[in-house]
Amino acid sequence: MSNTLDRVIQILVEKIGIAPTEATTDANFIKDLGIDSLDYAEIVMEFEQSFNIRIPDSDAERLQTVGQAVEYIDEKISA
């Protein structure tokens, strides 16, 4: 498991109180994890702070699963 995935799962557990086992790479933020738009905005801000990156709103809207978020963050970090 990647460090990015571990940190993303930790953020989800802390912010929305899910079990770590729920945050699989194919888990959809809305359908599977029950995250609403306000929670999602907070999570995106936490991703930005934790990984020291900027996630434009247009990109954030396309991140629908935990795996997509991890891939996106990894790309931003390595760029």
Q: DSSP letters along 11-44, please?
A: HHHHHH---GGG--TT-BTTTTT---HHHHHHHH
Catalytic (active site) residue 74: no
Which one is catalytic: 6, 26, 32, 36?
36
**H helices, E strands: number in the chain:** 4, 0
**Catalytic residue set:** 36
